[in-house]
């Protein structure tokens, strides 16, 4: 009979009364009887006693801990022991085996075995009964896991000292163990481990020594490692192959001011392209002897970067595509009519299979490229035999064919799509410095090709430490007397705005005004600030002399800001909120700004420092600003140069009514004014300088660089391992990329698979042959079980949780983490070395837990550069010696031509297996096709 999950039923006949279900657990035991089905357990055992075939069915489903009643687990073990020795397992033999082990009386004697056999409806259904028992076992483990999670939660809340992140991880592990049915003892005796080991040795021998692990795609490496095996931690390390680096003296804006590329450290804050603070997750070593270029922009800005530094740009083709607002078809009318005629001609005929060449003959060769894309979407439906005549001799072959109607209809949909549809060709925006140099101008009209969008206004909080309201400070900086609290204006409106900021404005010699603080009411002879009794002053001041000098006047406030005699914008104002910075700019422009005939805002001053500060203020608001100089007559040489700032926007910049109206009339609309970006006007080689790169924790991987705040991008053997495993051998692989985005990874994958140079894909300038190869490979690799996660700044717990889910859903065979030094630990550690040590140990545990190899990409320190042969060693692993200790395999990458451009081994790379826990070490040579983002097996 079946025992319900909630109500304990009567005991079946046979067993002695001393056997009972497991007692309730202390500290959170079950309020109800645990899920069980004693009748199903009895039927399983009875069927096994009656039929040898039933034993074979059951042992694939059940394990000893799956039984609820201990006596049933004992009988099950006895049956398995006999079955494993090749002896019959029936009531007599099992009874004898139990008697020998002293368990016969405990299970109720031989009569209980007869009861088990009598309770079986039919032995043929033993497998079904076993599934019932297995399901109840899973439910019991789920209840137990829930109980443990509750205990963990209450224990942590009561101050038990366990970290909350550890509690969450243990809870996930408990649920994962339930779903994976991993209930086992912590220890295993040697006898239990010998047979699985022998089975693996026999399996390798039966295959003639052929690899049994996950293949890497490199023959010699697979032969050496015998593939990558479950539970292994594999470290792939090398010096940075792609610099993505800027010169050390490149200024970088921060939320508090400025720093330089040479000074930045991991954990510091920079500013991203959206204007928000972004944290530096990693700062790399300084690189030397890199090919460097000066990148000049249309606003006059110049940045020094290496050849492989990444930029996010738009090309002219991409801009034209976005600018086309009308919903016009992508193809001309005659092309659309030709496809429509072809569809109509075959619509009434029975559908059939056609080859690509036959379909091309139907519609015309001008549709070759788009037909490749459609064919990849439709897919090959079968093979057809076609006969040809070559050199006067007939011959035939099998060719892949497509359903004609589906192919033609798909083509019709394509050619009738509107411009700017979601499937319109996209233009890659991330390019290297070298690629910008190659495509600096368009091929036809030689127009500038690449543009970098302006950063958004800096998003910063309001500041309450601004001693002078921003607008009033802007008025004084624009037309104020550098040595006192006076300013000049002919506009009463500006005087009213200053008074609105809480000041008293008194007219002087026309058109001059002086600024004063409001006089608060106070007892006679008492300072209004410190309260000191002064006895009154002759000049009527309500402050003592010390308070008056400190802040009792507008001049004193200017002195505290250090702007008296040295006009500039204090740094606190340049990092104030957007509202406060706009008020400051309005004060500057109302007094000393003009509107040009073309609608530009213009600011002119003879102070270089103030000009630089105003330029920083303008670009911090998201505008592109240019600065020009000209000679003027001045009292001193330093005041004989005028600095003129120009920028264009449709935003309201002026408070002063007459200038506001003039700007509104003259400013150009967004459709004609290119104000949101700056062009790259030149990329010229310069002498190599030390360069460096960083990575940041935002999804776009962008940060601002240079005084103009230009958005720029932060910084493949592991990719080849995952690509070969997923595409060549259909092994589910996951890439956790903390450096590159999903689009960048897929673009590199397409470059490697289709053998189209990466810079060609990025520029979008593909030839007919490139399109053909790309379309063909896209159709072939689209079903590959390759998963990519580009979440920035992932910690180990997040990676473990995601890997568990992939293991459950897709039987994960390989994990790649790119790369180790970009990972963060949720725990606080005393040093980065300790943090990396925890991460490497965690990755090793992850490999064992999900039973698949984990490949962690790491970086080498600068040790190889100090050696004559430049070859890396194990001791060169960065930041922690524990990486070497935890890893089962360490592969160091080396290229001679990285250090010696004239090396005879150019185009080759060495995979130096520096550590192999289960075998010998060696060096494997592969071909380095870096223009295709891949390494190639040379043993093919």
- Taking 80 as the threshold, does the pLDDT of residue 723 lie above it? no
- The CATH number linked to 176 is 1.10.860.10
Q: Do 659 and 691 fall within a single domain? A: no
CA atoms within 13 A on the CB side of 214: 29
Question: Secondary structure of the chain: what % helix, strand, coil (to 5)?
Answer: 40, 20, 40
Of 130, 165, 180, which residue sits at a domain end?
A: 180
Separation CA 502–CA 472 (nearest Å): 10
Predicted pLDDT of residue 25: 45
Range with the lowest mean pLDDT among 193-202, 513-522, 652-661?
193-202
57 part of a folded domain = yes
- The CATH number linked to 762 is 3.40.50.300
User: 544: which residues sit within 8 A by CB, 6+ positions away?
Assistant: 527, 529, 530, 532, 534
Q: Do 130 and 157 fall within a single domain? A: yes
Task: Determine the average pLDDT of the residues in 802-828.
Answer: 77
- Taking 70 as the threshold, does the pLDDT of residue 799 lie above it? yes
User: What values do phi and psi take at 739, rounded to 5?
Assistant: -115, -55
Separation CA 27–CA 915 (nearest Å): 47
Which residues in 307-346 are b (16+ Cβ under 10 Å) and which e? bbbbbbbbbbebeebeeeeeeeebbeeebeebbeebbeeb
Predicted pLDDT of residue 200: 61
What does the pLDDT look like over 53-80, one tens digit per residue?
788 778 778 888 889 999 999 999 898 8
What does the pLDDT look like over 166-192, one tens digit per residue?
787 778 777 766 765 544 444 555 666
User: Does this model's pTM top 0.85?
Assistant: no
Task: Determine the average pLDDT of the residues in 376-394.
Answer: 77
Q: Do 845 and 894 fall within a single domain? A: yes
| DSSP symbol at 688 | -
Q: Do 756 and 898 fall within a single domain? A: yes
What does the pLDDT look like over 888-918, one tens digit per residue?
888 888 877 666 666 777 667 888 888 888 8
- The CATH number linked to 311 is 2.170.16.10
Predicted pLDDT of residue 526: 63
59 part of a folded domain = yes
Q: What is the 3-state secondary structure (H, E, C) of 643-675?
A: EEEEECCCCCCCCCHHHHHHHHHHCCCCCCCCC
Q: Do 224 and 271 fall within a single domain? A: no
Strand order in 292-297's β-sheet?
451-453, 677-686, 292-297, 302-306, 246-247, 691-692
| DSSP symbol at 869 | S
Separation CA 600–CA 620 (nearest Å): 18
Tokens of 879: 């930041």
Predicted pLDDT of residue 934: 64
Cβ(20)–Cβ(71) under 8 Å? no
877 part of a folded domain = yes
Would you call 87 exposed, middle or buried from its count of C-beta atoms within 10 A (0-12, 13-18, 19+)?
exposed
Radius of gyration for the chain, computed over Cα atoms and rounded to the nearest angstrom: 38
- Taking 50 as the threshold, does the pLDDT of residue 14 lie above it? no
Separation CA 890–CA 882 (nearest Å): 12
211 part of a folded domain = no
Task: Determine the average pLDDT of the residues in 323-334.
Answer: 61
Terminal alpha carbon distance of the chain: 64
Higher-confidence residue: 591 or 696?
Answer: 591
931 part of a folded domain = yes
- Taking 70 as the threshold, does the pLDDT of residue 939 lie above it? no
Q: How many domains does the chain divide into?
A: 5
What does the pLDDT look like over 130-178, one tens digit per residue?
999 988 998 988 888 888 888 888 876 554 566 777 787 778 777 766 7
Predicted pLDDT of residue 618: 95
Helix crossing, 368-378 with 768-781: angle to 10°?
A: 0
Task: Determine the average pLDDT of the residues in 766-783.
Answer: 78
Q: Do 856 and 919 fall within a single domain? A: yes
- The CATH number linked to 628 is 3.10.28.10
22 part of a folded domain = no
Dihedral (C-alpha) 816, 821, 825, 828: value to the nearest 10 degrees? 170
The C-alpha angle 680, 751, 698, rounded to 5 degrees, equals: 55
Q: Do 690 and 653 fall within a single domain? A: no
Cβ(586)–Cβ(653) under 8 Å? yes
The domain in which residue 509 lies consists of 470-518+553-666
Predicted pLDDT of residue 243: 45
Higher-confidence residue: 50 or 760?
Answer: 50
Q: Do 831 and 758 fall within a single domain? A: yes
Cβ(501)–Cβ(513) under 8 Å? no
421 part of a folded domain = yes
Q: Do 893 and 830 fall within a single domain? A: yes
Q: How confident is the model at residue 12 (pLDDT cuts 50, 70, 90)?
A: very low
What does the pLDDT look like over 641-673, one tens digit per residue?
899 999 988 889 999 999 999 998 887 644 345
| DSSP symbol at 122 | -
Cβ(887)–Cβ(233) under 8 Å? yes
Q: Do 686 and 736 fall within a single domain? A: no
Q: Do 912 and 773 fall within a single domain? A: yes
Q: Do 96 and 129 fall within a single domain? A: yes
922 part of a folded domain = yes
């Amino acid at each position: 009979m079946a025992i319900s999950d909630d109500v304990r039923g009567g005991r079946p006949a046979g067993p002695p009364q001393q056997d009972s279900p497991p007692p309730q657990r202390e500290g959170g035991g079950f309020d109800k009887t645990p899920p069980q089905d004693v009748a199903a357990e009895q039927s399983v055992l009875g069927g096994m006693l009656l039929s040898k075939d039933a034993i074979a069915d059951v042992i694939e489903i059940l394990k000893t801990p799956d039984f609820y009643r201990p006596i049933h687990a004992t009988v099950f073990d006895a049956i398995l022991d006999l079955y494993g020795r090749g002896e019959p397992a029936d009531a007599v033999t099992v009874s004898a085996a139990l008697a020998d082990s002293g368990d016969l009386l405990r299970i109720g004697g031989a009569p209980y075995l007869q009861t088990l056999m009598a309770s079986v409806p039919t032995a043929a259904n033993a497998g079904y009964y076993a599934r019932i028992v297995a399901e109840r076992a899973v439910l019991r483990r789920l209840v137990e896991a829930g109980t443990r999670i509750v205990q963990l939660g209450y224990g942590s809340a009561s101050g038990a000292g366990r970290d909350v992140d550890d509690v969450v991880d243990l809870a996930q592990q408990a649920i994962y163990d339930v779903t994976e049915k991993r209930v086992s003892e912590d220890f295993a005796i040697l006898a239990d481990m010998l047979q699985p080991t022998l089975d693996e040795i026999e399996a390798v021998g039966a295959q003639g020594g052929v690899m049994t692990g996950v293949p890497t795609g490199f023959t010699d490496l697979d032969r050496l490692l015998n593939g990558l095996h479950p539970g292994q931690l594999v470290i792939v390390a090398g010096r940075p192959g792609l610099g993505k680096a800027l010169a050390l003296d490149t200024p970088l804006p921060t939320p508090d001011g400025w720093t330089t590329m040479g000074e930045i450290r991991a954990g510091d804050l920079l500013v991203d392209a959206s204007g928000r603070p972004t944290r530096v997750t990693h700062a790399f070593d300084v690189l030397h002897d890199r090919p460097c270029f000066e990148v000049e922009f249309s606003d006059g800005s110049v940045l020094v970067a290496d050849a492989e530094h990444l930029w996010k740009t738009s090309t002219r083709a991409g801009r034209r595509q976005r600018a086309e607002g009308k919903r016009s078809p992508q193809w001309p009318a005659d092309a659309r009519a030709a496809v429509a005629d072809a569809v109509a001609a075959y619509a009434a005929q029975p559908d059939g299979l056609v080859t690509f060449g036959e379909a091309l003959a139907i519609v015309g060769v001008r549709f070759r490229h788009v037909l490749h894309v459609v064919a990849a979407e439709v897919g090959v439906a079968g093979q057809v035999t076609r006969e040809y005549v070559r050199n006067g001799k007939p011959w035939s072959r099998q060719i892949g064919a497509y359903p004609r109607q589906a192919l033609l209809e798909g083509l019709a949909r394509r050619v009738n799509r509107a411009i700017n549809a979601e499937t319109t060709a996209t233009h890659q925006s991330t390019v290297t410095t070298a690629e910008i140099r190659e495509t600096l101008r368009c091929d036809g009209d030689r127009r500038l090709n690449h543009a970098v969008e302006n950063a958004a206004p800096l998003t910063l909080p309001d500041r309450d430490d601004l001693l002078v309201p921003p607008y009033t400070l802007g008025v004084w900086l624009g037309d104020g007397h550098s040595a006192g609290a006076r300013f000049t204006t002919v506009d009463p409106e500006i005087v009213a705005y200053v008074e609105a900021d809480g000041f008293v404005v008194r007219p002087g010699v026309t058109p001059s005004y002086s600024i004063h603080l409001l006089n608060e009411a106070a007892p006679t002879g008492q300072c209004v600030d410190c309260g000191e009794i002064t006895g009154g002053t002759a000049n009527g001041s309500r402050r003592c002399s010390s308070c008056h000098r400190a802040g009792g006047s507008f001049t004193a406030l200017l002195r505290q800001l250090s702007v008296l005699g040295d006009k500039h914008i204090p740094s606190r104002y340049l990092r104030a909120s957007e509202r406060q910075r706009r008020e400051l700019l309005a004060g500057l422009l109302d007094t000393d700004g003009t509107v040009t005939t073309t609608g530009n805002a213009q600011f002119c001053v003879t102070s270089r420092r103030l000009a630089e500060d105003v330029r920083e203020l303008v670009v911090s608001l998201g505008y592109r600003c240019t600065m020009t100089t000209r000679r003027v007559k001045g009292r001193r040489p330093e005041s004989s140069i005028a600095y003129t700032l120009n920028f264009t926007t449709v935003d309201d910049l002026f408070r002063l009514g007459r200038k506001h109206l003039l700007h509104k009339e003259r400013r150009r609309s967004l459709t004609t004014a290119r104000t949101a970006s700056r062009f790259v006007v030149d990329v010229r080689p310069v002498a190599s300088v030390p360069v460096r790169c960083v990575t940041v924790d935002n999804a776009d991987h962008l940060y601002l660089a240079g005084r103009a705040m230009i958005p720029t991008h932060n910084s493949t053997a592991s990719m080849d391992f995952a690509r070969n495993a997923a595409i060549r051998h259909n092994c589910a692989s996951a890439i956790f990329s903390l450096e590159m985005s999903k689009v960048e990874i897929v673009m590199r994958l397409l470059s490697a698979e289709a053998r189209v140079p990466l810079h060609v894909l990025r520029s979008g300038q593909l030839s007919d042959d490139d399109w053909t190869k790309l379309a063909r490979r896209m159709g072939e690799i689209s079903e590959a079980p390759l998963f990519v996660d580009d979440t920035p700044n992932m910690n180990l717990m997040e990676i473990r949780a995601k890997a568990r889910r992939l293991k459950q859903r897709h039987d994960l065979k390989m994990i790649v983490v790119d790369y180790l030094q970009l990972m963060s630990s949720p725990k606080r550690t005393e040093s980065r070395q300790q943090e990396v040590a925890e991460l490497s140990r965690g990755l090793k545990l992850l490999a064992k837990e999900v039973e698949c190899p984990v490949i962690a990409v790491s970086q080498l320190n600068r040790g190889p550069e100090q050696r004559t042969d430049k070859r890396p060693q194990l001791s060169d692993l960065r930041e922690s010696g524990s990486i070497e200790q935890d890893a089962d395999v360490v592969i160091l990458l080396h290229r001679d031509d990285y250090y010696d451009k004239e090396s005879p081994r150019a185009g080759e790379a060495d995979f130096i297996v520096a550590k192999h826990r289960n075998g010998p070490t060696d060096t494997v040579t592969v071909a380095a096709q870096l223009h295709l983002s891949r390494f190639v097996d040379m043993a093919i």
